[in-house]
Amino acid sequence: MGQQHRTPIFTVVLLFLSGLCLSGAQTMRQTYIVQADGVATARAAVFESGGSVTAELPIIDGVAARMPAETAAALAGDPRIHAVHPERVVTATGNTTAPGDYQQAVGAEQAWAAGIDGAGVTVALVDSGIDLQTPNVIARFSALDQQPAPSDAYGHGTFLAGVIGSRFAGGATMGVAPGASLVDVQVLDGEGKGTITDVVQGLDWVLARHETYGIRVVNLSLQSAVVTPYWDDPINQAVEALWQAGIVVVVAAGNTGPEPVSIAVPANNPFVITVGAFTDAYTPTDEADDFITPFSASGPTEVGFVKPDIVAPGAHIVSRMKKSTAWAVAHPGSWLGGNNYTASGTSASAAVVSGVVSLMLQQQPALTPNLVKHALRAAARPAVGEDGVSLTFSVFQQGAGRVWAPGAVFSDFGGVEANAGMIPGQTYIGPVRLIDGIYTFVTEGGELQPWASTYSWAGTYSWAGTYSWAGTYSWAGTYSWAGGYAWDESSFADPTWEMLQPGGTSPIGDRPAIDLLPPD
């Protein structure tokens, strides 16, 4: 295979700006998320402590508030308060392919031929906004200023809208589900920055209005660092509320791979559909040369769940944004003419799957999120060796395999659901018990024994027998692989990769730390 050139798109770093202000004896105030048994209780406790509420977050029974660190520490001990979280870093992920390439690679054209294009299904894109000239947008909301989003100054959201399913003049850049409607939920500013509060407010808005706009799918191509078990994270709590309300949540795995345990928030949530990236090596009808991209984040999660759930095209993706947007200005080499740009990342992979889910819901509107997730995994095509059984990549790299739209859209899987026996809002124990000498299991009381916010992988992850996930991990067949999880650079025909840094290439394995990644 010849050399591959992929310019990764926006790893949008959502900097959770604490914001500095002074009060009293020059005490520095910061932003915290305070949770109780309801918004009213959280608001009252903040007020009594001398803090100020900046936003209400009913989807997670909490508020965003500003207060000194010592006040937050004292508030955490208040018996009325369930949790106090500081704002923290989140990142969004990216995409790329020539027009018609990724649609063909996932079999979307077969659904179109049967008259299935996503019509009647609405996807909420929680991102940097969608340009006002983008078709199919039926509603807009901005968590940044509580006003309708004016446009997309950064470019990331508009690019992903095109991948999900926007039609443009002359038929250019038709996404996976061109008949789907879009709702613009802006949580990132013109520099690709936002806060946990912004994201949770955006998700709360979706929950409150999903019936009004027919929102069946939410696309989250952003990520935050893992600093608590998944169930204790505010964004994860919000996405579980959406899932329980019947909304399919599709999340980018992240551009932090290939090392194990590199899945971040909210991709580490066991309920959502977490999407990693593969490249079709510019041959969309030939699966033999496909491989997982080096930047695609890998599982297991911090408590041992298999992630990603599935992989989708995430290299050499083409979509649209205005040349005046911040990302376009920063990456002139990605310009293809007109308003077309090329980029790479798991943001696009998630957008592809959001499009596929739209096709599924048009064909089978009664599908629940758990039914959708099972159908996607059951119809997926795992990368296997010549024997047809041994996996080329482990489940922690490819999940159930590459997404395949015709199987997911037209097959009847007999009502089998993913997440069997699992209920949003409850905690679950994954199978991984020891990572680098640190136990990461959950006790009966829901406590980690102990918890560490930084993970390093020691040795190899040994896979044995059937993966138990409140039942049996479902595959489209029976597959196996030998040995542990070890990243092998020799599996790539291309010795170099255009890494997640502006205009530069570097050998596989020589990649920057997550906090140095530019917007994807």
What 3-state DSSP class applies to 117?
coil
| List 347, 349, 358, 394, catalytic entry | 347
| List 101, 128, 131, 156, catalytic entry | 156
- Is residue 85 part of the annotated active site? The answer reads no
Cα–Cα distance measured from residue 186 to residue 151, given in angstroms and rounded to the nearest whole number:
9
Cα–Cα distance measured from residue 380 to residue 328, given in angstroms and rounded to the nearest whole number:
34
Determine the angle formed by the axes of helices 346-363 and 369-379, rounding to 10 degrees. 110
List 27's β-bridge partners, or say none: 23
Cα–Cα distance measured from residue 272 to residue 249, given in angstroms and rounded to the nearest whole number:
5
Name the residue among 19, 18, 54, 15 with its Cα closest to residue 34: 54
The pair of three-digit structure tokens given for residue 330, joined into one six-digit string: 């920063």
Rg of the chain (C-alpha set): 22
∠451-244-46 over CA atoms, to 5°?
60
Cα–Cα distance measured from residue 474 to residue 478, given in angstroms and rounded to the nearest whole number:
9
Residue 43: what residue type?
A: R
- Is residue 127 part of the annotated active site? The answer reads yes
506 and 489 Cβ atoms separated by less than 8 Å = no
Residue 265: what residue type?
A: V
DSSP H helical segments within 77-226, as ranges?
Answer: 101-105, 108-113, 156-165, 196-213
| List 101, 127, 198, 280, catalytic entry | 127
The pair of three-digit structure tokens given for residue 514, joined into one six-digit string: 């997550």
Look at strands 22-23 and 27-35 and give their pairing. Answer: antiparallel
Number of residues in the chain: 520
263 and 311 Cβ atoms separated by less than 8 Å = no
DSSP states of 277-320 as a string? EEE-TT-TT-GGG-EE-TTS-----TT-----SEEEE-SSEEEE
**158 phi-psi bin (left φ>0, alpha ψ -120 to 50, beta other):** alpha
List 472's β-bridge partners, or say none: 468
Cα–Cα distance measured from residue 322 to residue 94, given in angstroms and rounded to the nearest whole number:
17
Residues labelled as active-site residues: 127, 156, 347
